[in-house]
């Protein structure tokens, strides 16, 4: 017996189906070199990326991910599931853990529940990225690659650089990059998902590990999950023999994976109608994909793997493809990687190339197709490692008389040295470029740390005051109002406050909240917008004043906090007119709606939600009611998804909670349950009679997670029982050694 990573020597070659993928005992004498290569590049990462552990506010998407980890830690510490709670901190709130990939936040939130969630998040970002070469090596061995080839892939893995910058490269994850933390979590499972899927096509013993890795990938990151499932649909066809048996195994794996991931997918599908589409990006290449012409141009010109430098990795990919495919029977792992590179590339073309054909992909309206280029990156890493391995063998003058000798050739000291030298020559340009980039990252983090320490004495009393008093949101600028110039170090103030878990308006389009699109058009000079978005506080640099009537609360040499009188989380409106909206067009509808006079006259229309792109009617504006509308005794805890208030109105009206609409909201008026209504643009309301009413709102999230957890477990058990049906089954992570 031997483990799939080949940690113990074997006598005869390994057998997987009819294809020999192993090596003679001589090649295992090079394990010291394989391990050394992996450890050297991992040590490189640990040293150069260490500044990532410094706790400073994030300037990218990691600000939201860190916030999710803290929220998860708080809820788990209290003994409840984060996915069942209202997430109030961004874009007027949403059931964020239902609409967004949650597994990473829950996993590290559980660690943060017993430690410090902020520190846990920073260290997770560091270690997930720094230790990734080890994952590449182990998955390569699982795939059937010779140890040195897998080690070469691991050595190459940190050095990719592409134009989009959202693939498996440091720019996608580090502080000065994009902060795609959920994708980083899934980068640890996709390599194993592909490798185990490939092995399971001929060996049912791998069905259980494959389904587990696929389910984890889907839970960590949805778009990476698509690539994991794409492996099931692709790999059965890569061998001309035993197609029927391979298809049966693929069907079992697909069913087990879909059932196993039901705890994620079923709530997502059931509530998809209430997850907004980013209408500002929907028609751009960021969502639709860059198209075949652009993606192929980048690939052939070397900009997919080596943007701005010599195409060293690109050449390795080309060599690995050409030689590997010509010797595919000796290296079965070449075929799945070549196939997944092609499939990922085709998927990345998106609607820009395929138009309405992408409609066959479930959930296509919520996919950022350009992100599938990460599958090209992962497959390219393995092909480049094989390319260096092949090139080193050729460089020492060794010639194969038989194809089998490629996989069993012994690399003595001279040939091992040649491989190391060749790998170094390949990676020196990339390493030089990456070292410069990591130095910049460390420098910017250090400067941000200094800026935060300098701002803390003046800013901390303000943030503590807001946290104590609550009752409304804070506006400190937004991207469309020039808010980027009001910053702490490099981090805009509206994002810095989000890093402090303060409910803000301005850090726009971070969630699938229906209000995320209207928020982008918040007008700081329009008093009715403050009531609509529940903005009670305005934070500005000292010397600047709000554009609406406001009262100064705290002022120092750098910052001044203002409060807008009368603004709370609850308002009362008449509800004139009807507005037809859908999650596809709410952003476009918000522009004329916010510019109209309706909100200023408390005449917000009631929303009828549709699945189409129909037009809308703003209704008729009437004069304000004779007696002013009053709301008193508000008790709000949107962190727990609840609000209670007393409203005094002259006419039958609608009490409106400044929170994004979702059918999970429930309302009670004077102790009686009443149906909630949606009020423009996408807020939660309930009809109240004339006079004094006691109103209570409460969010009740998706309640079927325990049952879905049982269903998901049944899917994994199904895969396990199917794997045990293989007569060779003696364990999940071992293979029998036999002669051909």
667 DSSP β-pair partners: 674, 697
CA distance 522 to 477: 10
pLDDT at 403: 42
Half-sphere exposure of 618 (CA within 13 A, CB side): 15
Which CATH number goes with the domain that contains 597?
2.60.40
Q: How far apart are the first and last CA of the chain?
A: 16
Better pLDDT: 471 or 64? 64
Residue 82 forms part of a structural domain: no
- Per-residue pLDDT at 575 exceeds 80: no
Largest CA distance in the chain: 98
**Domain match, 519 and 600 both:** no
Q: What span, in angstroms and rounded, lies between the C-alpha atoms of 90 and 515?
A: 10
pLDDT of residue 404 exceeding 60: no
Length of the chain measured in residues: 740
Report helix, strand or coil for 165: coil
Across 449-470, b (16+ Cβ under 10 Å) vs e yields bebbeebeeebeebbeebeeeb
**Residue 607 bridge partners (DSSP):** 579, 678
Confidence band for 579, pLDDT divided at 50, 70 and 90: confident
Does residue 81 belong to any structural domain of this protein? no
664 inside domain? yes
User: Cβ distance 336 to 235 under 8 Å?
Assistant: yes
Mean pLDDT for the chain overall = 86
In a domain, 77, yes or no: no
Same domain, 575 and 564: no
Over residues 115-130, the pLDDT tens digits come to 999 999 999 999 999 9
Dist. CA 519–CA 591, nearest whole Å: 10
Read off the pLDDT of each residue in 610-631 and give the average, rounded to a whole number.
54
**Arithmetic mean of pLDDT, 533-541:** 95
- Asked if 378 and 239 sit in the same domain, the reply is yes
- Judge contact between 281 and 739, C-beta under 8 A: no
Residues 6+ apart with CB under 8 A from 445: 51, 52, 54, 56, 175
d(CA 207, CA 721): 9
The predicted structure's pLDDT at residue 691 = 87
Q: Is the pLDDT of residue 143 over 50?
A: yes
Q: Where are the beta strands (DSSP E) in 545-661?
A: 551-555, 559-563, 570-573, 578-581, 606-609, 630-637, 642-649, 653-660
Least confident of 25-39, 342-356, 567-581, 713-727: 25-39
Q: Give the DSSP letter of residue 481.
A: G
Q: Is 357 exposed, middle or buried (0-12, 13-18, 19+ CB in 10 A)?
A: exposed
Residue 224 lies in a domain: yes
Residues 525, 575 within the same domain = no
CB 225 within 8 A of CB 186: yes
The number of domains in the chain is 3
The predicted-structure confidence for 339-380, as pLDDT tens digits, reads as follows 999 999 999 999 999 999 999 999 888 999 999 999 999 999
Domain limit, last residue, from 541, 568, 595: 568
Whether the Cβ atoms of residue 375 and residue 343 lie closer than 8 Å to each other: yes
Question: What DSSP element (H or E) covers 559?
Answer: strand 559-563
Is residue 589 within 8 Å of 616, Cβ to Cβ? yes
- Separation of alpha carbons 6 and 158, rounded Å: 23
DSSP secondary structure code for residue 737 in this structure: B
Same domain, 662 and 717: no
Cis status, amide bond into 681, omega within 30 of 0:
yes
* Consecutive H or E run containing 124: helix 117-130
Same domain, 482 and 623: no
In a domain, 91, yes or no: no
The answer to which of 243-257, 372-386, 612-626, 632-646 has the lowest mean pLDDT is 612-626
Closest CA to 56 of 436, 500, 558, 541: 500
- The reply to whether 533 and 615 lie within a common domain is no
Residue with the two structure tokens 């879905």? 708
Q: How far apart are CA 342 and CA 332, in angstroms?
A: 16
In a shared domain, residues 562 and 424: no
Q: Does residue 83 lie in a domain region? A: no
| Distance in angstroms (rounded) separating the CA atoms of residues 651 and 518 | 28
CA distance linking residue 394 with residue 401, whole number of Å: 13
Task: Domain of residue 255: give its range.
Answer: 2-48+131-274+285-437+709-735
Residues 323 and 357 in one domain: yes
Closest CA to 459 of 103, 118, 57, 186: 57
Nearest-CA neighbor of 498 among 485, 482, 487? 487
Q: What is the bridge-based pairing of β-strands 578-581 and 559-563? A: unpaired
Confidence tier at 602 by pLDDT (50, 70, 90): confident
If asked whether residues 329 and 244 sit together in one domain, one would say yes
Whether 501 shows a pLDDT value over 80: the answer reads yes
| Separation in Å, CA 562 to CA 108, 167, 541, 660, 678 | 36, 43, 11, 25, 30
Distance CA 379, CA 193 (A): 13
Which one of 546, 568, 590 terminates a domain?
A: 568
* Among 551, 568, 585, residue at a domain's last position: 568
| pLDDT score recorded for residue 102 | 93
Query: What is the pTM for the complete model shown?
Result: 0.90
Q: Are residues 617 and 714 in the same domain?
A: no
Q: Are residues 530 and 589 in the same domain?
A: no
Closest CA to 72 of 80, 442, 127: 80
Residue 139 lies in a domain: yes
Residue 613: band (very low, low, confident or very high) from pLDDT cuts 50, 70, 90:
low
């Amino acid at each position: 017996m031997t483990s799939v990573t080949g940690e113990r020597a074997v006598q005869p070659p390994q057998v997987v189906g009819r294809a020999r993928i192993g090596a003679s005992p001589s090649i295992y004498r090079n394990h010291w070199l394989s391990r050394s290569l992996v450890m050297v590049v991992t040590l490189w990462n640990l040293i150069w990326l260490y500044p990532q552990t410094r706790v400073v506010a994030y300037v990218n998407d990691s600000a939201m991910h860190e916030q999710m980890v803290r929220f998860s830690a708080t809820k788990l510490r209290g003994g409840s599931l984060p996915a069942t709670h209202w997430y109030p901190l961004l874009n007027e709130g949403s059931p964020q853990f239902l609409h967004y990939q949650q597994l990473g936040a829950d996993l590290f939130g559980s660690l943060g529940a017993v430690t410090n969630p902020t520190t846990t998040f920073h260290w997770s970002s560091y270690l997930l990225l720094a230790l990734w070469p080890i994952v590449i090596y182990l998955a390569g061995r699982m795939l059937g690659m010779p140890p040195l080839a897998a080690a070469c892939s691991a050595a190459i893995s940190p050095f990719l650089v592409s134009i989009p910058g959202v693939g498996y490269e440091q720019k996608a994850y580090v502080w000065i990059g994009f902060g795609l933390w959920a994708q980083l979590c899934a980068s640890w499972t996709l390599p194993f998902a592909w490798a185990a899927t490939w092995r399971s096509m001929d060996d049912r013993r791998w069905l259980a590990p494959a389904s587990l890795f696929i389910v984890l990938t889907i839970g960590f990151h949805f778009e990476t999950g698509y690539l994991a499932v794409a492996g099931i649909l692709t790999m059965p066809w890569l061998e001309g023999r035993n197609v029927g048996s391979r298809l049966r195994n693929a069907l079992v794996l697909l069913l087990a994976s879909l059932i196993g991931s039901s705890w994620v997918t079923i709530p997502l599908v059931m509530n998809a109608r209430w997850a907004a589409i980013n209408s500002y990006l929907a028609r751009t290449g960021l969502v639709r994909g860059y198209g075949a012409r652009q993606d192929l141009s980048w690939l052939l010109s070397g900009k997919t793997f080596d943007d701005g430098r010599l195409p060293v990795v690109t050449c390795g990919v080309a060599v690995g493809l050409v030689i590997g495919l010509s010797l595919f029977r000796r290296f079965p792992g070449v075929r799945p990687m070549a196939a997944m590179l092609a499939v990922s590339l085709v998927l990345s073309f998106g609607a820009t190339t395929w138009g309405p054909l992408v409609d066959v992909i479930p959930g296509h309206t919520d996919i950022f197709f350009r992100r599938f280029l990460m599958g090209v990156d992962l497959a390219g890493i393995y092909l480049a490692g094989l390319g260096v391995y092949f090139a080193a063998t050729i460089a020492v003058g060794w010639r194969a008389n038989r194809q089998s000798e490629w996989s069993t050739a012994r690399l003595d000291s001279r040939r091992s040295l040649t491989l190391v030298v060749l790998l170094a020559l390949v990676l020196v340009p990339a390493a030089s470029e990456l070292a410069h980039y990591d130095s910049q990252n460390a420098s910017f983090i250090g400067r941000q740390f200094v800026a935060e320490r300098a701002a803390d004495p003046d800013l901390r009393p303000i943030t503590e005051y807001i946290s104590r008093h609550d009752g409304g949101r804070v506006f400190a600028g937004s991207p469309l109002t020039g808010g980027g110039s009001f910053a702490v170090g490099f981090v805009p103030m509206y994002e810095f406050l989000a890093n402090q878990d303060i409910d803000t308006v301005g850090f726009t389009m971070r969630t699938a909240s229906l209000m995320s699109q209207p928020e982008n058009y918040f007008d700081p000079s329009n008093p009715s917008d403050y009531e609509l978005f529940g903005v009670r506080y305005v934070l500005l640099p000292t010397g600047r004043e709000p554009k609406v009537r406001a009262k100064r609360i705290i002022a120092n040499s750098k910052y001044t906090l203002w409060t807008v009188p009368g603004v709370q989380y609850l308002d009362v409106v008449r509800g004139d007119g009807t507005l037809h909206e859908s999650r596809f067009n709410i952003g476009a509808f918000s522009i004329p709606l916010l510019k109209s006079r309706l909100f200023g006259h408390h005449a917000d229309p009631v929303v009828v939600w549709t699945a189409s792109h129909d037009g809308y009617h703003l209704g008729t504006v009437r004069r304000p009611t004779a007696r002013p509308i009053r709301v008193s005794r508000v008790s709000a805890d949107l962190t727990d998804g609840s609000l209670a208030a007393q409203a005094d109105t002259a006419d039958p009206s609608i009490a409106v909670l400044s929170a994004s609409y979702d059918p999970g909201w429930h309302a009670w008026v004077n102790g009686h349950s009443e149906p909630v209504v949606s009020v423009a643009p996408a807020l939660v309301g309930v009809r109240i009679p004339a006079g004094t009413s006691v109103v209570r709102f409460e969010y009740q999230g998706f309640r079927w997670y325990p049952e879905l957890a049982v269903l998901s477990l049944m899917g994994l058990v199904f895969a396990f029982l199917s794997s045990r049906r293989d007569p060779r089954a003696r364990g999940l992570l071992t293979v029998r050694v036999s002669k051909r």
